[in-house]
Amino acid sequence: MSKPRVGVLISGRGSNMMSLIEAAAAPDFPAEIGCVISNRPDAHGVVRAQAANIPTRIVDHKAYEDRSSFDAALDEALTEEQIDVVCLAGFMRLLTRALVMKWTGRMINIHPALLPSFKGLNTHERALAEGVKIHGCTVHFVTPEMDVGPILIQAAVPVLEDDTPGSLGARVLEQEHLVYPQALRMVCEGRARLENGRVVIDGFEMAPPPLVVPPLG
């Protein structure tokens, strides 16, 4: 039986995209990366995907008059590439309700914060400004509202006294690269499903996230 085909949507450097591509290269991974689509022609992730021999497409949002026509073009590209599951990986465009509803349960996103805290941009700056002691990342099913949606997996990291947005972001990014492939695996194996707006996970063992702050002992 052929594996589900994943479409990865990016806007930038594509480090999460690479973590998915690398994970999917393992023979036992339950999905293959069918294509990478960028809304920015100059996204560095496009070059990285090409170097990894993954088909790429550009759907430049600037070429479309509104969100609906852009989303229709995205959907057409996903359909042409016979994509089953969509991963948003640093894809910085809001999607229309129509597109999100069409892909319900088959579209996931990674966000650099422990949702529902710090939706939106500049999450590491805001976490530091709030003085939180634990920060992290979240993979969730996509729903029409931005950075909201049933949570598949989260990883937490400590916030250290001398952290800058850069150092904290790097600590979080390391976890993003671990949990996104895990979440995709769970979805593609059918072990994580959306049921009545909640995520149901069947006996899945995952690596424990690093914790806890303040360090004990």
Binding residues for ligand GAR (CB under 6 A): 10, 12-16, 45, 89-90, 110-112, 147, 173, 176
Q: Please tell me whether 15 is known to bind a ligand.
A: yes
| CB of 86 or CB of 89, closer to ligand GAR | 89
How far apart (Å, rounded) are the C-alpha atoms in residues 201 and 162?
37
Whichever of 89 and 199 has its CB closer to ligand GAR, that residue is 89
Query: Strand locations in 83-210, DSSP E?
Result: 85-88, 107-111, 134-141, 151-158, 192-195, 198-201
Least distance (Å) between residue 33 CB and ligand GAR: 14
Marked catalytic residue, from 44, 61, 111, 135: 111
Active site residue 111: yes
**Does the annotation list 126 as a binding residue?**
no
> Which residue stretches of 33-164 are H helix?
44-51, 67-80, 97-102, 123-130
For residue 132, give the nearest of 150, 148, 114, 119 by alpha carbon: 114
Closest to ligand GAR by CB, 47 vs 200, is 47
14 is in an annotated binding site: yes
Q: Give dist(CA 101, CA 203) in Å, integer.
A: 28
53 known ligand binder: no
- Least distance from ligand GAR to the Cβ atom of residue 43, Å: 8
Which are the contacts of 105, defined by CB distance < 8 A and separation ≥ 6?
A: 141, 193, 194
Residue 82, amino acid:
Q
Least distance to ligand GAR, CB of residue 1, Å: 30
Active site residues: 111
Annotated binding residues: 14-16, 67, 92-95, 109
